[in-house]
């Protein structure tokens, strides 16, 4: 059984989509070089803040505002964090998929042990 999950019919390929988004962002950026790279990475902080805002809104934690978000909003914001992180990773290296998969394997092994040991 393979660990690789292929996109279903009509589903976009994850890494192809990330590459297309990175290209679109590169073609429309206002800052180049290291400044552009740092701003792209800092975008993650903005997206994480939106997750926090959605959680606060979904739980009604702000008594002045009440319930302003749903758990669907939280899920969507979490997806935005993942997409933003993958685009930032691909900006750092065109081998983003390989870097990510190697890191995922290392974290999985560190946390769960080797697949042969289970």
Mean pLDDT by 10 residues, the chain (118 residues): 66 94 96 95 97 98 96 98 98 96 97 76
* pLDDT (0 to 100) of residue 116: 64
Question: Within 10 A of 112 (CB to CB), how many other CB atoms are there?
Answer: 10
Q: Can you tell me the distance from the alpha carbon of 90 to that of 41, in angstroms, rounded to the nearest whole number?
A: 11
Predicted structure pTM score? 0.85
* pLDDT (0 to 100) of residue 7: 72
- How would you class 74 by CB atoms within 10 Å of its CB: exposed for 0-12, middle for 13-18, buried for 19 or more? buried
């Amino acid at each position: 059984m393979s660990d690789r999950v292929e996109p279903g019919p009509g589903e976009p390929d994850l890494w192809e989509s990330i590459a297309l988004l990175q290209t679109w962002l590169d073609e429309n950026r206002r800052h180049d070089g290291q400044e552009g790279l740092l701003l792209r990475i800092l975008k993650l902080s903005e997206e994480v803040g939106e997750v926090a805002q959605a959680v606060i809104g979904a739980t009604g934690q702000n008594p002045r505002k009440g319930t302003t978000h749903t758990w669907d909003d939280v899920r969507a914001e979490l997806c935005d964090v993942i997409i933003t992180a993958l685009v930032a990773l691909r900006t750092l290296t065109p081998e983003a998929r390989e870097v990510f998969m190697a890191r995922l394997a290392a974290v999985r092994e560190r946390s769960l042990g080797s697949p042969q040991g289970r």
